[in-house]
């Protein structure tokens, strides 16, 4: 079980590393939220699952099971909360008329969006 835990934590750390590189290198707000929002969620959930499994490695008693259950509660909380927060922040940025990045500076859609906004 420790081997599975190590593999899960390694994959989680890899996803968080990719998300951090994306956060540092991508050009504007929306692409940065795109990078961190998804890969951080998956990375943290995998890492927490790995920690819960690693905690069970020294024998399945009631107390260690409870600690693993609490860790999995954190993982579920993160899994529900993080995409919602990403969605809300990005929506707020869209309503604040932050222009999305394009390579040559041209707007690929009508910008700022004026119809349908509840301002």
Given the rule CB under 8 A, which residues bind other proteins? Answer: 77, 80-81, 84, 87-88, 91, 118
> Least CB distance from residue 74 to other proteins, whole Å?
10
Tell me which residue of 92, 93, 85 sits closest to 29, measured CA to CA: 93
- Considering the complex, state which of residue 96 and residue 118 has its C-beta at the smaller distance from other proteins: 118
Distance of CA 10 to the CA centre of its chain: 16
- CA dist 2 and 5 (Å) reads 5
> Least CB distance from residue 30 to other proteins, whole Å?
17
- Considering the complex, state which of residue 104 and residue 114 has its C-beta at the smaller distance from other proteins: 114
> Least CB distance from residue 94 to other proteins, whole Å?
11
- Considering the complex, state which of residue 60 and residue 89 has its C-beta at the smaller distance from other proteins: 89
- CA dist 114 and 10 (Å) reads 45
- CA dist 112 and 109 (Å) reads 9
């Amino acid at each position: 079980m420790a081997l599975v835990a190590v593999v899960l934590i390694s994959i989680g750390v890899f996803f968080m590393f990719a998300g951090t590189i994306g956060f540092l290198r991508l050009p504007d707000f929306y692409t940065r939220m795109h990078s961190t929002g998804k890969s951080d969620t998956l990375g943290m959930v995998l890492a927490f699952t790995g920690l819960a499994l690693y905690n069970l490695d020294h024998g399945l008693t009631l107390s260690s099971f409870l600690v693993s259950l609490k860790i999995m509660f954190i993982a579920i909380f993160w899994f529900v909360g993080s995409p919602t927060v990403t969605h809300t922040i990005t929506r707020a940025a869209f309503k604040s008329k932050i222009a999305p990045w394009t390579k040559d500076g041209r707007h690929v859609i009508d910008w700022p969006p004026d119809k349908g906004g509840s301002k």
